[in-house]
């Protein structure tokens, strides 16, 4: 322990949320208390990266010749542990602002949910997710001391002590060495961690890829190796999996990896991973800090957003290049032609990998697409260079696939009959919903495959896709669908001539401005009516989406198509020819129209609809 100076010891209070966090950490995370070691080593490694970075930029550094390393000392007899680094150290302000504050606001929220049992969690996973960080040390000890001296030659050295109970103290000390030493006595429950073999094991498990040597006493215990510098053939699966877990902060194995050694107009090496699962949402914290940029093996950024396009952000791993300056800033990585070239090559190779899976291992590709398909769909709207490749990578369920099974455009087109000139899709909330849509009846009956678009992202992507292989891609709802086969076989029993014309006119009169037109349907088989849109209109799903985004969005008028073979239409036509103004006729047409609205989930006023249904039932059951 370094000498204290004569300066007074100052006492500080943690902020309220910090106290709450500490309480939760100490009382909820005990399932994996040993993760504290990973947290402290990772902080030491961050601190060492920062010094290395200062040095390559020629900034003044205290003790420039000091070796960059982490040293762990174990005193088994007294259950003491100390972790020391020669990194940037901390100023007094750092100690107050960085050590006394909660890192991410999401952490507290998640922790309290976990505690109240709302969310299941695993201590290790949790810390990996949110970086509870330094404070995890209070799982294994009652009191922690930090002695630190900043790498800035003008700063003094400080001692920080806390029992994690709401208070901490800071005093000036007489420490000469640059860097930070953290030490503490292990609690009774955690005393078996004070064991050389145990510590070695933990370092191997959690911190094997730290880019600085870790010593226990005089022995170096980790294998400092830049895995991405090695050729793919020399990499073992176990090593790759471990490395992935290390960079991605994930506890599962990755789906696959891609190693690139590129020489030419731009030079770089990369080791990239596709995780096993997509993050929960775009704001999942694991999304960040998982694509690392190195320049000549010097760590530069841990969340380099510029080396892959937005839609491939789910990739994790490392890109290391000689072609950027070491003091590269965010602005430079954004605009540099080197990053642009790297991005182009990485995208090309990654898409190539997906294409390989798609051709040689359809099952693997399907698993991948279920996880990351939405990302690729976003790419369809943004990566115009690779649009054709992305289109081929699309998969979707159709009226001919079993639930959960998917097909491609290529397969769809090769299964089309010669008469079919267009590619059809139908949109809806889920497979179950679209399967019941009356607009599907005609296609079913004529054995025409229809693509099911059921995710919110699908609706946007389909607007960017107008055709494939020279064939228009159109909604089953579009009124003037080019129906090749006609309905002759059934047409005999349909309403025809004057009677048909009159009932269509009467329907239009009753519905007035609410519909664009009322016409005879070619697509309905069992249902009596359906709403469709003209060539320029949007289909129902798309329109609902637009309304969600813009409350002033005006719907386009629909066309009501009616089934002239349906007994109800025949009855209505008969009533119409007897009495034009029959109230039952008016009510029935209303009900038919509102029923069609209800099916596409656009009925505003169900009360009216239900009331009318009751009246009809009452009439039907009258004795
Ligand atoms: P995180 O590492 O996610 O920022 P931590 O709780 O692990 O969160 O650490 C909080 C902060 O304390 C770090 O960001 C860093 O500024 C500082 N810190 C922790 N350990 C060290 C260390 N060994 N050397 C220098 N600074 C450190
Ligand atoms: Mg940390």
Q: In whole numbers, what is the pLDDT of the chain averaged over residues?
A: 86
Write out the residue range of the structural domain in which residue 56 sits: 3-220
C-alpha 335, offset from chain centre: 26
Residues 20 and 146 in one domain: yes
Compute how many other C-beta atoms are within 10 angstroms of the C-beta atom of residue 272: 26
Q: End of a domain among 190, 220, 250?
A: 220
- The per-residue pLDDT for range 113-160, each reduced to its tens digit, is 656 665 555 544 444 445 567 888 988 999 999 999 999 999 999 999
What is the 3 state secondary structure string of 30-52? CCCCCHHHHHHHHHHHHHHHHHH
Spatial contact of 273 and 256, defined as CB atoms under 8 Å apart:
yes
176 found inside a domain = yes
CA of 207, nearest ligand number: 2
Residues 191 and 233 in one domain: no
pTM of the model: 0.68
Residue 67: name the closest of 181, 174, 212 by CA: 212
Residues 416 and 355 in one domain: no
Task: Write the residue with the smallest CA distance to atom 16 of ligand 1.
Answer: 98
Identify the CATH number of the domain in which residue 577 sits.
1.20.120.790
456 found inside a domain = yes
Residues 198 and 299 in one domain: no
Angle at 370 between CA 365 and CA 371, to 5 degrees: 100
Give the residue, out of 98, 102, 131, with the most ligand 1 atoms within 8 A of its beta carbon, to mutate for a pocket test.
98
Q: Higher confidence at residue 101 or residue 210? A: 210
Ligand 1 within 6 A of CB of 465:
no
452 found inside a domain = yes
Residues 233 and 333 in one domain: yes
Where does the pLDDT of residue 507 fall: very low under 50, low under 70, confident under 90, or very high at 90 and above?
very high
Residues 181 and 300 in one domain: no
Residues with CB under 5 A from ligand 2 (ion): 43, 133
Residues 609 and 469 in one domain: no
**Most confident of the ranges 163-172, 342-351, 375-384:** 342-351
Listed in sequence order, the residues at least 6 apart from 444 whose beta carbon sits closer than 8 Å to its beta carbon are 399, 525
Task: Write the residue with the smallest CA distance to atom 23 of ligand 1.
Answer: 44
Domains contained in the chain, number: 4
Ligand 1 within 6 A of CB of 133:
yes
285: pLDDT strictly greater than 50: no
Report the alpha-carbon distance of residue 165 to residue 153 in Å, rounded.
33
Atom of ligand 1 nearest to the CA of 132: 6
158 found inside a domain = yes
pLDDT of residue 602: 81
Task: Write the residue with the smallest CA distance to atom 7 of ligand 1.
Answer: 133
Report the alpha-carbon distance of residue 450 to residue 397 in Å, rounded.
9
541 found inside a domain = no
Task: Write the residue with the smallest CA distance to atom 19 of ligand 1.
Answer: 43
* Cα–ligand 2 centroid distance for 131 (angstroms): 6
Report the alpha-carbon distance of residue 318 to residue 88 in Å, rounded.
23
Identify the CATH number of the domain in which residue 273 sits.
3.30.230.80
Residues 186 and 62 in one domain: yes
| % of the chain at pLDDT higher than 90 | 51
Residues 231 and 212 in one domain: no
Ligand 1 within 6 A of CB of 123:
no
Ligand 1 within 6 A of CB of 47:
yes
Residues 80 and 160 in one domain: yes
Query: What is the four-CA torsion angle of 127, 131, 134, 137, rounded to 10 degrees?
Result: 0
Residues 38 and 103 in one domain: yes
269: pLDDT strictly greater than 50: yes
């Amino acid at each position: 322990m370094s000498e204290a100076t004569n300066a007074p010891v100052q006492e500080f209070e943690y902020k309220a949320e910090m106290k709450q966090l500490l309480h939760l950490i100490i009382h909820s995370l005990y399932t994996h208390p040993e993760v504290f070691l990973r947290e402290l080593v990772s902080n030491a490694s961050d601190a060492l990266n920062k010094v290395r970075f200062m040095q390559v930029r020629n900034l003044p550094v205290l003790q420039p010749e000091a070796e960059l390393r982490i040293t762990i000392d174990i005193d088994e007899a007294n259950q003491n542990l100390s972790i020391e680094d020669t990194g940037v150290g901390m100023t007094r302000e750092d100690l107050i602002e960085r050590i006394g504050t909660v890192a991410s606001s999401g952490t507290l929220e998640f922790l309290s949910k976990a505690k109240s049992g709302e969310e299941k969690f695993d201590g290790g996973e949790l810390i990996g997710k949110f970086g509870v960080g330094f404070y995890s040390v209070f799982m294994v000890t009652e009191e922690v001391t930090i002695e630190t001296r900043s790498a800035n030659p003008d700063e003094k050295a400080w001692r920080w002590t806390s029992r994690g109970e709401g208070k901490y103290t800071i005093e000036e000390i007489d420490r000469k060495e640059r860097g930070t030493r953290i030490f503490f006595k292990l609690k009774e429950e955690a005393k078996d961690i004070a064991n050389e073999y145990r510590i070695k094991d933990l370092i191997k498990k959690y911190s094997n890829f730290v880019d600085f040597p870790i010593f226990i006493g005089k022995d170096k215990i980790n294998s400092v190796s830049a895995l991405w510098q090695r050729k793919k053939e020399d990499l073992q699966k176990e090593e790759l999996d471990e490395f992935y877990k290390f960079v991605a902060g994930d506890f599962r194995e990755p789906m696959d990896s891609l190693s690139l050694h590129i020489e030419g107009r731009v030079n770089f090496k990369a080791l990239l991973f596709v995780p096993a699962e997509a993050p929960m949402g775009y704001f999942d914290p694991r999304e960040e800090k998982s694509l690392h940029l190195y320049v000549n093996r010097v760590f530069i950024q841990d969340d380099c957003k510029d080396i892959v396009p937005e839609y491939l952000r789910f990739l994790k791993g490392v890109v290391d290049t000689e072609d950027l300056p070491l003091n590269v800033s965010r602005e430079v990585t954004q605009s540099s032609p080197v990053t642009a070239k790297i991005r182009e090559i990485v995208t090309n190779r990654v898409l190539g990998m997906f294409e390989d899976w798609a051709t040689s291992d359809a099952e693997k590709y399907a698993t991948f697409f279920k996880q990351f398909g939405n990302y690729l769909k976003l790419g369809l709207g943004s990566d115009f260079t690779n649009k054709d490749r992305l289109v081929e990578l699309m998969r979707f369920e159709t009226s001919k696939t079993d639930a959960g099974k998917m097909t491609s455009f290529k397969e769809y087109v090769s299964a089309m009959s010669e008469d079919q000139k267009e590619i059809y899709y139908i949109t809806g909330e889920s497979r179950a919903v679209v399967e019941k849509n009356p607009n599907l009846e005609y296609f079913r009956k004529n054995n025409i495959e229809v693509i099911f678009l059921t995710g919110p992202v699908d609706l946007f992507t389909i607007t960017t896709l107008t055709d494939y292989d020279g064939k228009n891609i159109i909604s089953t709802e579009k009124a003037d669908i080019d129906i090749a086969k006609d309905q002759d076989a059934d047409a005999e029993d349909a309403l025809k001539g004057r009677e048909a014309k009159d009932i269509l006119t009467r329907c239009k009169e009753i519905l007035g401005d609410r519909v664009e037109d009322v016409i005879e349907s070619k697509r309905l088989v069992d249902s009596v009516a359906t709403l469709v849109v003209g060539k320029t209109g949007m289909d129902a799903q798309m329109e609902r989406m637009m309304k969600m985004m813009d409350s002033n969005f005006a719907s386009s008028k629909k066309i009501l198509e009616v089934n002239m073979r349906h007994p109800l239409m025949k009855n209505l036509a008969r009533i119409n020819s007897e009495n034009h103004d029959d109230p039952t006729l008016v009510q029935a047409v209303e009900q038919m129209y509102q029923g069609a609205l209800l099916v596409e989930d656009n009925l505003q006023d169900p009360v009216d609809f239900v009331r009318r249904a009751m009246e009809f039932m009452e009439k039907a059951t009258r004795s």
